[in-house]
Amino acid sequence: MGAVIELDNVSTIYEGERIPSLHNITLSIDEGEFVAVIGPNGAGKTTLLETINGLLPATSGTVRVFGKNVKTHGLEIRKKIGYVIQNFEIDSLTPFLSKDVVMMGRTGRIGLLRFPNQRDWERVFSNMQLLGIEGFKDRAVGKLSGGEFQKVLIARALTQEPDVLLLDEPFANLDVSSRKRVSDLLTTLNIERSLTMVFVSHDINAIPEACTRTIVLDQGRIVCQGELETVLSSSIVQQLWQRGKKHD
Amino acid sequence: MIELPLILLITALLGSILAGLSCSTIGVFVVRMNLVSIGYCMSHAAFAGAAFGLLINVDPMFGAIVFSIATALFLGPLSEKAKLESNVVIGFLFSIMIAFAFIFLNMIPGNAATGAALSILWGSIFMINLNDLFLLVLLSFVMLLFFILFYKELTAMLFHRKLAEASGVNTKMFFFAILFFVGFTVSVSLKLVGGLLVFALIVNPTSTAYQLFFDFKKISLASPFIGVVSCLLGFLVSLEWNLPIGAAIVVVSSLIFAFSILFSPKRKKGKKPLFS
Ligand SMILES: Nc1ncnc2c1ncn2[C@@H]1O[C@H](COP(=O)(O)OP(=O)(O)O)[C@@H](O)[C@H]1O
Ligand SMILES: [Mg+2]
């Protein structure tokens, strides 16, 4: 079991900015790991995920996924990385049906000049079923609630049948029972298919129990990592969340 | 009603149908991808290019293609970056293109060019020849093929460009392909509809289709249909009342759009939310 994701001294600076949003990150994630990344708002969690899949080019350092440099093999690598984007406000008139949006996850995987076949649609519907959204398959995504749309985004990423799954605050809009459902689903995928996962959250309480490692990010740096228990009891983390509470 | 030789009538009729088809097909992308201002700018660049073509005595369509593609090459990369910056440049470029167009038109010597010059401004069925018709056929065919072959990539991108890129779609390539299609479409439709109005033919039928449907598949079928109907009706109106064809088409397509707003299912039932 080799490293699937390797970051070597990576810094990422947004265009037009001066301060790096990621600072000299060195990190290696093995196949089958379930990594949780936590940190306050603006810590650089989203930036980290998008640096891994190459949507944001690393300003310095190298990012390798599946042993290949993301800078040169980005397109090919992204076909095998699922990305559940941080929930966004969707225009209520968006003219795409839920099932079509879920199918879009498979676009790169199916490949150019090919059309979705029966098997592809079966994947779509079985994943929608797993998330309990099969009833919305013919609804326009713009008409869904935040939580329902969130589930569509998760189903979309699963339908890609990725080897690595990046999740950005996937629980943000979910109620307690939906959280449990998604959390169980992720755990099953991790254990049964040894799917490598990076799970981002600003909420310490949202971390699924199956997580094998927790990384704490603050101001673009990794400040602490290890098993969840150890991390939570570290003084740095307690300070961070203490600070957060005062701001609230 | 004006009497016209049959061959001219048929050429113009087919030209109208194909211009309607190609403009309203590419319109689906322009409207959804927020390319309205960049497309608007390209269509005015095409107008300036056509005027320049007349000035130096080459086919206006050729000048239009060169100018609008050059604009796409310049604005494309810019619009990928900071939004504000590109809008400022678009506004600036748009006015400069109109200014150029008028300067070029003014510089065309003698009276002979006036008819041609005016028709570039507001379109004419007399300007369109077999050559143009052939190009329109070719463009419509290539564009429909592009749309069908890459439907899956294109819709993924229209839904959310970043997510499409994240699942392995080369969105940059498709983005530029779309800009080029916009450039070619406005250029070959320009003689018929006119430089000032051609962009309305891209936006109106599509906006109508977006009013009527929630399913992208239906929108992408309805938009070309509405485009063709608008052009056919516009063509008839223009013959009947001896109006410039471009203006007639735009008035017809705007009326259809107005009706679609009245009857849009997106606006029916339930009260308008308090905040939206
Ligand atoms: N598009 C952007 N341009 C410039 N700076 C950005 C952009 N997106 C995020 N940032 C900055 O990068 C830092 C990290 O952001 P982000 O990764 O989104 O944080 P998180 O996901 O942990 O809340 C923040 O300071 C934020 O202001
Ligand atoms: Mg974030």
Q: Is residue A108 part of a domain?
A: yes
Which residue do the tokens 């169980």 mark?
Answer: A184
Query: Do A204 and A242 fall into the same domain?
Result: yes
Q: Is residue A169 part of a domain?
A: yes
Please tell me the total count of domains within chain A: 2
C-alpha span between B146 and B149 (Å, rounded): 5
SS3 A160: coil
CATH number at residue A172: 3.40.50.300
- pTM value is 0.93
**Residue whose CA lies nearest to ligand 1 atom number 12:** A21
Query: Do A143 and A167 fall into the same domain?
Result: no
Please tell me the total count of domains within chain B: 1
Q: Is residue A186 part of a domain?
A: no
CB A128 within 8 A of CB A167: no
C-alpha span between B12 and B9 (Å, rounded): 5
Ligand 1 pocket mutation pick from A12, A13, A14 by most atoms within 8 angstroms of CB: A14
Which residues, 6 or more positions from A246, have their beta carbon under 8 angstroms from its beta carbon?
none
Query: Do A39 and A100 fall into the same domain?
Result: no
CB B147 within 8 A of CB B140: no
CB B151 within 8 A of CB B169: no
Ligand 1 pocket mutation pick from A10, A12, A13, A21 by most atoms within 8 angstroms of CB: A21
C-alpha span between A117 and A102 (Å, rounded): 14
What average pLDDT does the segment A180-184 reach?
Answer: 95
Q: Which run of H or of E encompasses A242?
A: helix A235-247
Predicted pLDDT at A235: 83
Which residue do the tokens 């910056």 mark?
Answer: B85
Chain B CB contacts of A75 below 8 Å: 168, 170
Q: What does pLDDT average to over chain B?
A: 89
What average pLDDT does the segment B10-14 reach?
Answer: 91
Domain extent for B229: 6-269
Domain extent for A131: 89-161
Would you tell me the crossing angle of helices B83-107 and B112-122 to the nearest 10 degrees?
160
Chain A nearest CA to B65, separation (Å): 28
Q: Is residue A184 part of a domain?
A: no
Q: Is B170 on the interface with A (CB under 8 A)?
A: yes
Q: Is residue A20 part of a domain?
A: yes
Q: Residue A206: is its pLDDT beyond 90?
A: no
Pairing status of strand A221-226 against strand A164-168: unpaired
CB contact under 8 A, B156 and A79: no
Q: Residue A84: is its pLDDT beyond 90?
A: yes
Q: Report A:126-185 residues touching B (Cβ under 8 A).
A: 140-143, 156, 160
CB A66 within 8 A of CB A4: yes
Which residues, 6 or more positions from B19, have their beta carbon under 8 angstroms from its beta carbon?
B136, B188, B189, B192, B193, B201, B231
C-alpha span between B230 and B207 (Å, rounded): 13
SS3 B31: helix
Chain A CB contacts of B266 below 8 Å: 93
Ligand 1 atom nearest to A41, measured from its CA: 23
Tell me the Cα Rg of chain B.
Answer: 19
Query: Do A111 and A15 fall into the same domain?
Result: no
Q: In what order do the strands lie in the sheet with A164-168?
A: A81-84, A164-168, A196-201, A34-38, A213-218, A221-226
What lines the ligand 1 site, CB under 6 Å? A 14, 17, 21, 39, 41-47
Which residue do the tokens 């007349």 mark?
Answer: B54
Q: Residue A87: is its pLDDT beyond 90?
A: no
CATH number at residue B12: 1.10.3470.10
Q: Check residues A178 and B273 and name the one with the higher pLDDT.
A: A178
Ligand 1 atom nearest to A169, measured from its CA: 21
Predicted pLDDT at B4: 73
Here the ipTM equals 0.94
Q: Is residue B38 part of a domain?
A: yes
What average pLDDT does the segment A217-226 reach?
Answer: 95
**Residue whose CA lies nearest to ligand 1 atom number 11:** A21
Q: Which run of H or of E encompasses A223?
A: strand A221-226
What average pLDDT does the segment B39-52 reach?
Answer: 92
Q: Residue B271: is its pLDDT beyond 70?
A: no
Q: Is residue B73 part of a domain?
A: yes
SS3 B149: helix
Q: Is residue B276 part of a domain?
A: no
Q: Which run of H or of E encompasses A4?
A: strand A3-12
What average pLDDT does the segment A77-85 reach?
Answer: 98
pLDDT more than 90, % of chain A: 84
Determine the Cα angle at A116 with ends A78 and B137, to 5°.
Answer: 100
Q: Check residues A225 and B195 and name the one with the higher pLDDT.
A: A225
C-alpha span between B205 and B219 (Å, rounded): 10
Phi–psi pair at A114, nearest 5 degrees: -120, 155
Q: Residue B112: is its pLDDT beyond 70?
A: no
Ligand 1 atom nearest to A86, measured from its CA: 21
What average pLDDT does the segment A177-197 reach?
Answer: 95
Query: Do A93 and A63 fall into the same domain?
Result: no
Q: For B140-173, how does the pLDDT look when each residue is reduced to its tens digit (9 = 90+)? A: 999 999 999 999 999 999 999 999 999 999 999 9
Q: For A14-71, how does the pLDDT look when each residue is reduced to its tens digit (9 = 90+)? A: 988 999 999 999 999 999 999 999 999 999 999 999 999 999 999 999 999 999 999 9
Tell me the Cα Rg of chain A.
Answer: 18
Q: For B68-102, how does the pLDDT look when each residue is reduced to its tens digit (9 = 90+)? A: 999 999 888 887 776 556 778 888 888 999 999 98
CB B171 within 8 A of CB B177: no
Rounded alpha-carbon distances, angstroms, from residue B131 to A216, B59, B135, B255? 66, 10, 6, 31
CA of A23 to the centre of ligand 2 (A): 16
Query: Do A248 and A169 fall into the same domain?
Result: yes
Ligand nearest to the CA of B162: 1
